[in-house]
Chains A and B, each alone.
Chain A
Amino acid sequence: RKEVEQDPGPFNVPEGATVAFNCTYSNSASQSFFWYRQDCRKEPKLLMSVYSSGNEDGRFTAQLNRASQYISLLIRDSKLSDSATYLCALRGLIWGLGTSLAVNP
């Protein structure tokens, strides 16, 4: 089993929709988690860290569920500019394959 697994999508949603991605991990000792955004063939860039208590940054909310060993990213009021691939990462070293999001007008 891969250490990190993501649903690759693609997710196609209309503008204004709410969309959520999950990322499951197998190592229960994992301590730090991140969500990255990657635009077409550009370098991944940090979107947000994931804190144990959950955290929010504008339209983006990250959650950690240690009991079920997954992290989630919720995007509210989707914009066209949110179209990208979203990667989850453990410790900045272990990477999911990424989930592709297309927001349509």
Chain B
Amino acid sequence: GNSVTQMEGPVTLSEEAFLTINCTYTATGYPSLFWYVQYPGEGLQLLLKATKADDKGSNKGFEATYRKETTSFHLEKGSVQVSDSAVYFCALSVWDYKLSFGAGTTVTVRA
């Protein structure tokens, strides 16, 4: 079956620190990979995605590269801000549109 494993949190950082959240996956077929973000009290919104091996998704200073050889899609940001405090979810989708989510990683950035 399809599954996603992501780094457990919570993660607490100072402003301008480097953020990495690890994500690995297991999938049948050729999945698309996603990072969704959930800000406090809100629904999820797409942060970035990659649809094939070696693609790099990027948005709002965040980046993630689809690594087929290591079945990974790690999220990185070089300099976090307080406004980046949120829960981050790694997810995958195969041909049937359904998303399989990781457990989520709570990130808190302190000023």
Q: Do A and B bind each other?
A: no
